[in-house]
Amino acid sequence: MTTKRGKPSGSAKLREAVCRANRELAATPGLVQGTFGNVSGVDRAAGLFVIKPSGVPYDELAPARLVAISLNTGQVLSGKLRPSSDAPTHLELYRSFDCGGVAHTHSEMATAFAQARRDIRCLGTTHADYFRGDVPVTRALTATEVGGEYEKNTGLVIVETFKRGGVAPDDVGAVLVAGHGPFTWGADALAAVERARMLEFVARLAYGAELLAPGAPALDGFLVDKHYRRKHGKDAYYGQL
Amino acid sequence: MTTKRGKPSGSAKLREAVCRANRELAATPGLVQGTFGNVSGVDRAAGLFVIKPSGVPYDELAPARLVAISLNTGQVLSGKLRPSSDAPTHLELYRSFDCGGVAHTHSEMATAFAQARRDIRCLGTTHADYFRGDVPVTRALTATEVGGEYEKNTGLVIVETFKRGGVAPDDVGAVLVAGHGPFTWGADALAAVERARMLEFVARLAYGAELLAPGAPALDGFLVDKHYRRKHGKDAYYGQL
Amino acid sequence: MTTKRGKPSGSAKLREAVCRANRELAATPGLVQGTFGNVSGVDRAAGLFVIKPSGVPYDELAPARLVAISLNTGQVLSGKLRPSSDAPTHLELYRSFDCGGVAHTHSEMATAFAQARRDIRCLGTTHADYFRGDVPVTRALTATEVGGEYEKNTGLVIVETFKRGGVAPDDVGAVLVAGHGPFTWGADALAAVERARMLEFVARLAYGAELLAPGAPALDGFLVDKHYRRKHGKDAYYGQL
Amino acid sequence: MTTKRGKPSGSAKLREAVCRANRELAATPGLVQGTFGNVSGVDRAAGLFVIKPSGVPYDELAPARLVAISLNTGQVLSGKLRPSSDAPTHLELYRSFDCGGVAHTHSEMATAFAQARRDIRCLGTTHADYFRGDVPVTRALTATEVGGEYEKNTGLVIVETFKRGGVAPDDVGAVLVAGHGPFTWGADALAAVERARMLEFVARLAYGAELLAPGAPALDGFLVDKHYRRKHGKDAYYGQL
């Protein structure tokens, strides 16, 4: 592994944005506990992404302390600190999904669903406003997958989940890793954080509904599409022009 | 659609009141997430109501930025911004119910009941102090209703729910739209917000009670009336004269 | 009904203490919503108790605005404001129980138990530290009781609950009125508020335990006594001498 | 019992650390209610541990007000205040477990599990990051154990739980005392508090998962080990070098 320790890789703009997104993640009540959670952002033209260093408290973050990683080799390009241990998971998501930012949290209710190994079913329009259908849970990793390149395999099993289920990563920008917790992605680092926040809210709504009415009917597909399209794509009519 | 862009429609007093009510909604913990939620107030003599613009953050609201809409035509009368996408729902409520303000939120527990497609049953005097009986959930909208004038049809299905159930909108100033969330109404915009707040509290109490004792007995009708009348109508004896 | 409007009844010290206790109640997160909730304190030598006026916001309270009520006649002795509508309930508790203060709240989880019409069973030492056994729920009031002197009858049904169950009001200073909410009492107004606070905490613990393990075993009687006596009575050894 | 009232036992450094840890415990939302909860730290070379005095509010704590207790005799060595009534429990943990600090709380969800008499099963990686396996609940104490040296016997039953279950106290630094609440331990007083905080978070996650999916599968052993070892021991690769 060759790493350059000179001029930091990743533009100042990207580092600034990813640093702000990590702070935003930490500032949102209920999203992170201690140093759990990390956000990254990608610069595909430069062939790298920038991510939080491992175990560093959020209030000690600075753009220069972030770690840049090559999309091609997965190696650290610059930065004296070690990257988040989840960096190989982010890498696989950037390689397979067309997104600009990835966020990972252990937010309470989304993690409870991940531990219960249940999809967060799309039961309401709040959910459909942000996620076009159920947020899927992955299968559990095998002993071989955990014993090998664990974090990379976590990314691969996420990708597998979307392929197997025929779900477009663009439509449902979130997943629950079984027995672990959620990853979210979006147009950039901040969008990934915003989605992590909405995922937790949607998980709380679904939790209440599932306990009140186990097996409550899913939202009709035409209503899911209606709400998702109110906010996304060319026919969106939510917000200002 | 003809809209006047000159002097804003809706009195300064109404705009001020509706702006304050929207801020109050946003300031109440747990009522709104992001830019979800909107409040309106009506001036029946002037034939219009004033509502939050769509997707505008609550701290950027100002009386002049609110949007005025004709009760007769449903068209925007003044304001450069687009109204809340839920405006046609508010319109139908003003047309059918005798109220001065309408509020819409995705507050957590009321929305969980809406997603569970369950009425919030009147299980306690706290509920009866504010709502004279169960808060009903609507039927789900059909594909035709969603594919057509969706937000208008949401309003119509609310009105249908009260007619079909023989519930007086004056007695129970709240509804849960199935798979969506609550709408509340009252004497003015602020009263609608206050009701949204109490609805969420009452939903939390009912949630706890339903999980502790599924099928717990409803409050006796004579006790519902007793409490509702302690606070409402000519025989009220709560508070000061 | 004769009321004196001159020098306020009830000593300055009592009024001060009850006013402070009402503010303490309001300042505790989760105990009161809006103007729900009220606290009173008694002066048995003077034959009166002092209570919060009805519907007055907590931050507008002042010792002089409290209302004094005769223990003998139940009539207002002084104060221009109407007393809390629950005053006749407080009166019956003072008449039957040997206590110095009474508090009433609609705190969330205690009220959920009241609406579920379930006792808060003594499942843990936290409970036993404050309440020597289950906190009982009353029977529902009859139509006649509600139609007559409703608030007085609420007090009578509380007293009946303790007599019927053979529970000493000194040992378990709290009750849940079915479909309504909790009342607590103690040595003085502040002690009643402290008990209301602990009741809500104990209710939250019991709620979690009941959902995790329906029918979980009650705490052994000898452990209930052990903990209660660690903090109460002549053999107490908790805290400093 | 001989106690010295002159120069305080326990180094200034230890007293400072234990005082800070107690304040940290109180400052963490949801860990303590009122004066529930206490933290101690040990100096094995000096043969003593230092603990919070009983019933003293956290904001009145100072290093000099802590109480020093002999590991050998269990007697108070210095300090004018009485120690936490749970001191004999801490003593037994120091005698049997190789740890530097002990914390006790009545944190809400961990206590709910203790009242439900259920282990907090290891359902997720968040749990495994901090506790290498299920957090066990003890058996209930007998009438004889409660009637005798109750707090000492509480410590003994904790030690018994780990021996009987073949669990290494180093791997799982937490226990639930049946019908009571959690104790945690770690390298020093602050580490014990950090563990108490994580235990509560892990309990919340498990609570949600157990209600969503009763009997949800435990995390695979190889994944538990993987996560625990990412953060503990010679092969740890979380955080910075």
Q: What is the pLDDT of residues C85-99, one digit of tens each?
A: 999 999 999 999 999
Determine the pLDDT at residue C241: 67
CB contact under 8 A, B198 and C34: yes
What mean pLDDT is reported for chain A? 93
Which residues of chain C neighbour D118 with C-beta distances below 8 Å? 212-213
The two structure tokens encoding residue D165: 């279950």
Cα first-last separation, chain A: 48
Band of the pLDDT at B7, cuts 50, 70, 90? low
Q: Is B143 on the interface with A (CB under 8 A)?
A: yes
* Helix, strand, coil abundance in chain C, percent, nearest 5: 45, 15, 40
Nearest CB neighbour to D117, from listed C206, C213, C226: C213
**DSSP state at residue A25:** H
Band of the pLDDT at A7, cuts 50, 70, 90? low
Q: Is A201 on the interface with D (CB under 8 A)?
A: no
CB contact under 8 A, B216 and C181: no
Residue of B86, B82, B85, B88 whose CA lies nearest to B66: B82
The two structure tokens encoding residue A158: 């996420």
Determine the pLDDT at residue C6: 53
The string of pLDDT tens digits covering residues B19-45 is 999 999 999 888 887 668 999 999 999
- Percent of chain C residues topping a pLDDT of 90: 82
CA dihedral A107, A112, A117, A121 (to 10 degrees): -80
Residue of A78, A89, A30, A83 whose CA lies nearest to A56: A83
Q: Is C53 on the interface with B (CB under 8 A)?
A: yes
The per-residue DSSP string of A147-167 comes to HSSHHHHHHHHHHHHHHHHT-
Q: Which amino acid is at D172?
A: V
Given phi > 0 = left and psi -120 to 50 = alpha, else beta, which region is A55? left
CB crowding B126-136: b at 16 or more within 10 Å, else e: bbbbbbbbbbb
CB contact under 8 A, C211 and B206: no
The per-residue DSSP string of D89-131 comes to HHHHHHHHS--SEEEE---HHHHHHHHHT--B---SHHHHHH-
Beta strands in C53-172 (DSSP E): 67-70, 76-78, 101-104
CA A80, chain centre distance (Å): 25
| 8 A C-beta contact, residue D89 and residue D74 | no
Please say if the pLDDT value at position D165 is more than 90: yes
The string of pLDDT tens digits covering residues A161-185 is 999 999 999 999 999 999 999 999 9
Band of the pLDDT at D240, cuts 50, 70, 90? confident
Which residues of chain A neighbour D205 with C-beta distances below 8 Å? 106, 108, 111-112, 115
Band of the pLDDT at A146, cuts 50, 70, 90? very high
**DSSP state at residue C1:** -
Segment A66-82 shows an average pLDDT of: 93
**Residue D141 burial (CB count, 10 A):** 23
Please say if the pLDDT value at position C22 is more than 80: yes
Determine the pLDDT at residue A80: 84
Strand, helix or coil for residue B177: strand
The string of pLDDT tens digits covering residues B45-97 is 999 999 999 988 888 999 999 999 999 999 999 878 999 999 999 999 999 99
How many angstroms separate the Cα of A171 from the Cα of each of A96, A190, A228, C235, D166? 14, 17, 9, 66, 48
d(CA B24, CA D33): 31
CB contact under 8 A, A216 and B116: yes
Please say if the pLDDT value at position B1 is more than 50: no
CB contact under 8 A, D146 and C226: yes
Please say if the pLDDT value at position A124 is more than 80: yes
Segment D93-98 shows an average pLDDT of: 98
- Percent of chain B residues topping a pLDDT of 90: 82
User: How would you list the strands of the sheet with B174-177, edge to edge?
Assistant: B76-78, B67-70, B48-51, B38-43, B101-104, B181-186, B174-177
Q: Is D82 on the interface with C (CB under 8 A)?
A: yes
Which residues of chain B neighbour C53 with C-beta distances below 8 Å? 240
Spell out the residues 6+ positions from residue A81 whose beta carbon is closer than 8 angstroms to its own: A53, A54, A56, A65, A67, D240
Nearest CB neighbour to C81, from listed B126, B237, B240: B240
More confident residue, B13 or A34: B13
Strand, helix or coil for residue A49: strand
* Helix, strand, coil abundance in chain A, percent, nearest 5: 45, 15, 40
The two structure tokens encoding residue C185: 């009492």
d(CA C99, CA C91): 11
Q: Quick one: closest CA in B to C215, which residue?
A: B212
Please say if the pLDDT value at position C128 is more than 90: yes
Determine the pLDDT at residue A6: 53
Q: Quick one: closest CA in D to A106, which residue?
A: D126
Residues 180-199 of B with CB under 8 A from C: 198
Q: At what angle do helices C150-165 and C87-96 cross, to 10 degrees?
A: 30
Band of the pLDDT at B239, cuts 50, 70, 90? confident
Please say if the pLDDT value at position D34 is more than 80: no
C181 burial type by CB count under 10 A (0-12 exposed, 13-18 middle, 19+ buried): buried
The two structure tokens encoding residue A4: 């350059």
Determine the pLDDT at residue C2: 36
Question: Residue D132 — φ and ψ, nearest 5°?
Answer: -85, 70
The two structure tokens encoding residue A5: 């320790």
Q: Is B207 on the interface with C (CB under 8 A)?
A: yes
Band of the pLDDT at D6, cuts 50, 70, 90? low
d(CA B21, CA B192): 8
The string of pLDDT tens digits covering residues D96-154 is 999 999 999 999 999 999 999 999 999 999 999 999 999 999 999 999 999 999 999 99
Spell out the residues 6+ positions from residue D98 whose beta carbon is closer than 8 angstroms to its own: D169, D170
Chains that touch A (3 or more CB pairs under 8 A): B, D
Nearest CB neighbour to D210, from listed C207, C212, C220: C212
Determine the pLDDT at residue C3: 43
Determine the pLDDT at residue A32: 83
d(CA D91, CA D48): 9
The two structure tokens encoding residue C82: 């109407």
